[in-house]
Amino acid sequence: MKKLYILSLVLSFTVCFAQTNLKKADALFKNYSYTDASKAYEEILQNIKKPSTQTIKNAADSYYFISDSRNALKWYRKLYEVQGNNLTDIYYLRYIQSMKAVMDYDEANRVTKEYLDKKGDKNEINRYVTQKNQMDSLAKVKSLYEIKNLDINTSKSDFGATFFQDKIVFTSARDTTKFSEKLYTWNNQPFLNLYVSERNQADGSLFNETVFLPNVMTKYHEATATFDTSGRTIYYSTNIVKKNKLVIDETKTNNFQIIKGAIVDNKLENPQKVFFNSDEYSVGHPSLSEDGQWLFFASDMPGGYGETDLYYVKIAADGTMSSPVNLGPKINTIGNDLFPFFSNGVLYFSSDGHYGWGDLDVYESKFLSDGSFSDPKNLGAPINSNKDDFAFIIDKTARFGYLSSNREGGKGDDDIYSFTKGIPVCNQTISGIAVDRKTKLPLADVTIMGYNSFNDILGETKTNFEGKYALTVPCSKTVKMIAAKPNYASDEKTAETTKENGGEIPDVNFELSNYDDLVVKKKGVEKVDVKPIYFDYDKYDITPLAIEELSKVVFIMQKFPNIRIKIESHTDSRGKDSYNLKLSDNRAKSTRDYIISQNIDASRIESAIGYGESRLINKCKNGVKCTEEEHLLNRRSDFIIIQK
């Protein structure tokens, strides 16, 4: 599918080769004759020991643009050896995609991480982690999709099926025209035309194909159509032509444009160019929303995020169009984002810039109530493969549709596949953030677990470097959420999922306490960090102030279930020694009983002993004059950790 990445027709002219072989190869490359250029570079590079960086790039790109991934990878790897992490963004992308195309996924992931580290963009790193986790999850479950290659495919390129009333219109390079010569030198195939076919509702097969709207057909490209629900309005992609001649720019490129027209008696009437067409860049792959109020399209117009971006215009009741709006960096990437299709509030599109299986993959993004789109999600296998997968459409019931692919096992360059989709399991997403309870800073690598009412695990994930997480769980469930991290107290929340498939329950947040913030260490002994526990004079009943401090002991024992303690209670030196000994022992046992009353197992408290004034920590023994503050230091209860 590389031939349509740039949505343009590149024109090749006869060149006289009285030059060296390398100049010949460069001339072929410059004239977009990639099939011939790849052969020329392969031959000449066998005899060049130290080729220039540009020559290596051209050789790699020649193979890349004709979808010969194995040979493209050979030269991108050579380029990587020469330039290392000085590769530009686009050559990193092509190198990584070529590895994926031959299923070298481990190496592709290694280089991807290297590239993202070098770039240092936290948003891109976060997107990579999120999308990789989503795809890893997809790989573990059975797909809802079943696909089938169609008999209608030829040895040429067949792609871009779209719904037209009860029929299917598609794009094909099958040579049924009166032009017998090969005109498109990029891939040595005939030019593209639109065809219409009947559809077998039982198995999705297509048959009885004929040229669609014969009065539209030219000797150049017509492709990727879209229709309103009545089938009377069409938008389609075609070359920019004036007075039956192609309009070319300085690079000998003829760009694509979008034409709008009316269909009357199987003919196109009143064809009009959309106002945002330009001789200087391409617009194509139009796709109307069901209500006809949005027109999505792809373009390489200036100001985008990558090689080809997705845009939309709003269409008023009188047909007036708004200015094009870029769908933004959540959808668009540094690579190619193409073939939009909008149905039931979901935007489907193809991209080679998001994390995927290789080359173009199909993604879905939901239209949100605030007017934005959700993070794109890969549709997984078998919709996606290690090759180009694109032009995905699905019917209103979300039960069947078509896509295009140049994957292994097809009949031609690109093939059309039908698919059926099973009823999806109803799932929702619970999301939030985990922070340190003391510092309020985000915590990475916190394990988030979801459990049902029977304590069966519903799902598990981890927070990213921003402390954020998203956990997929079934609909209509009471979900117990537990957040845990080594050396931290776990936190627990409960969430109620609804019946809305794909819905999200946000802001289920967690605060985790670091163990080191809950204890004090002195002379190798760890104690629970509490303030002095006060009792009324001459009493050992638990007061509200005592409960406030004892709650800290209960908290750490609840959060760290392996902790065992011993309780030591002390008094100051005032009063009789024997009385103080008994009073402190009663207070120790009173605090023990309170802790046990808070559902702490009694076996986790080894002992509760009062030592009276026998273990003073300062000079204030009997007969020594001390201040109240000095005596207070000796009136203490220690909760000593003996096991953790």
pLDDT digit string, tens, across residues 557-596: 988 888 999 998 888 888 888 888 998 899 899 999 999 9
> Residue with structure tokens 């050979």?
74
Q: 641: closest CA among 585, 570, 586, 568?
A: 568
pLDDT at 365: 95
Give 6's pLDDT tier (boundaries 50, 70, 90): very low
pLDDT at 228: 93
Mean pLDDT of 521-537: 80
Q: Which two tokens stand for residue 403?
A: 């896509």
pLDDT at 26: 83
- Residues pairing with 311 in the sheet: 297, 326
pLDDT at 542: 83
**Cα atoms in the Cβ-side hemisphere of radius 13 Å centred on 174:** 18
The span from the CA of 3 to the CA of 7, in Å, is: 8
- Residues pairing with 436 in the sheet: 512
**Residue 223 or residue 299, greater confidence:** 299
Give 183's pLDDT tier (boundaries 50, 70, 90): very low
Q: Which two tokens stand for residue 375?
A: 């993070």
**Cα atoms in the Cβ-side hemisphere of radius 13 Å centred on 621:** 5
Give 15's pLDDT tier (boundaries 50, 70, 90): very low
Q: Name the range with the highest mean pLDDT among 111-115, 154-158, 188-192, 461-465.
A: 461-465
Q: Among 97-101, 111-115, 453-457, 543-547, where is mean pLDDT lowest?
A: 543-547
Mean pLDDT of 60-83: 91
**Cα atoms in the Cβ-side hemisphere of radius 13 Å centred on 7:** 32
pLDDT at 248: 61
**pLDDT > 60? residue 178:** no
CB-based burial of residue 463 (10 Å sphere; 0-12 exposed, 13-18 middle, 19+ buried)? buried
pLDDT at 537: 62
Helix, coil or strand: residue 634? helix
Helix, coil or strand: residue 629? helix
Q: 288: closest CA among 226, 222, 368?
A: 226
Q: Which two tokens stand for residue 551?
A: 């709650």
> Residue with structure tokens 């001390």?
626
pLDDT at 182: 45
- Rg for the chain, CA atoms, rounded: 35
Mean pLDDT of 479-490: 93
The span from the CA of 450 to the CA of 472, in Å, is: 9
**pLDDT > 80? residue 433:** yes
Mean pLDDT of 308-322: 94
Angle between the N-to-C axes of helices 544-559 and 577-597, in degrees from 0 to 180, rounded to the nearest 10: 50
Give 14's pLDDT tier (boundaries 50, 70, 90): very low
Mean pLDDT of 412-423: 91
Helix (H) or strand (E) holding 605: strand 605-610
pLDDT at 501: 83
CA 354 to chain centre: 7
Give 250's pLDDT tier (boundaries 50, 70, 90): low
CB-based burial of residue 120 (10 Å sphere; 0-12 exposed, 13-18 middle, 19+ buried)? exposed
**Residue 296 or residue 368, greater confidence:** 296
Q: 258: closest CA among 289, 279, 236?
A: 236
Residue 552 sits at the vertex; the CA angle it makes with 547 and 557, to the nearest 5 degrees, is 115
Q: 163: closest CA among 193, 196, 192?
A: 196
- Residues pairing with 345 in the sheet: none
The span from the CA of 450 to the CA of 471, in Å, is: 8
pLDDT at 190: 60
pLDDT at 187: 47
* Strand-pair category, 389-394 with 468-474: unpaired
**pLDDT > 50? residue 10:** no
Mean pLDDT of 604-618: 89
φ/ψ of residue 345, rounded to 5? 75, 15
Q: Which two tokens stand for residue 346?
A: 């979901």
Contact in structure between 595 and 554 (CB atoms under 8 Å): yes
- Residues pairing with 281 in the sheet: 278
- Residues pairing with 361 in the sheet: 351
Q: Among 18-32, 127-141, 290-304, 354-368, where is mean pLDDT lowest?
A: 18-32
Average pLDDT, the chain: 87
Mean pLDDT of 384-401: 94
What are the C-alpha distances in Å from 46 to residues 22, 55, 71, 131, 629?
A: 11, 12, 14, 40, 89
Give 420's pLDDT tier (boundaries 50, 70, 90): very high
Give 544's pLDDT tier (boundaries 50, 70, 90): confident
Peptide bond into 286 cis (omega under 30): no
pLDDT at 399: 93
Q: Among 141-145, 359-363, 403-407, where is mean pLDDT lowest?
A: 141-145
pLDDT at 152: 94
**Residue 341 or residue 634, greater confidence:** 341
Q: Which two tokens stand for residue 65?
A: 């643009």
pLDDT at 18: 33
Give 189's pLDDT tier (boundaries 50, 70, 90): low
**pLDDT > 90? residue 404:** yes
- Share above pLDDT 90 across residues of the chain, in percent, rounded to a whole number: 52
**pLDDT > 50? residue 181:** no
Q: Could you tell me the strand order of the sheet in which 415-421 lies?
A: 145-149, 415-421, 400-405, 389-394
The span from the CA of 612 to the CA of 633, in Å, is: 13
The span from the CA of 16 to the CA of 201, in Å, is: 54
> Residue with structure tokens 């537990």?
482
Q: What is the pTM of this model?
A: 0.67
Contact in structure between 241 and 216 (CB atoms under 8 Å): no
Helix (H) or strand (E) holding 433: strand 427-436
pLDDT at 17: 38
pLDDT at 565: 92
The span from the CA of 455 to the CA of 452, in Å, is: 5
Q: 312: closest CA among 455, 234, 302, 292?
A: 292
The span from the CA of 158 to the CA of 231, in Å, is: 22
* Total count of residues recorded for the chain: 644
Query: What is the end-to-end Cα distance of the chain in Å, rounded?
Result: 60
pLDDT at 214: 82
What are the C-alpha distances in Å from 517 to residues 97, 210, 305, 448, 571?
A: 47, 75, 45, 22, 27
Mean pLDDT of 5-12: 46
Mean pLDDT of 185-202: 77
Give 16's pLDDT tier (boundaries 50, 70, 90): very low
**pLDDT > 80? residue 186:** no
**Residue 558 or residue 461, greater confidence:** 461
pLDDT per position as a tens digit, 88-110: 999 999 999 999 999 999 999 99
Q: Name the range with the highest mean pLDDT among 44-48, 213-217, 398-402.
A: 398-402
Q: Which are the contacts of 230, defined by CB distance < 8 A and separation ≥ 6?
A: none
pLDDT at 120: 87
**pLDDT > 50? residue 54:** yes
The span from the CA of 526 to the CA of 642, in Å, is: 8
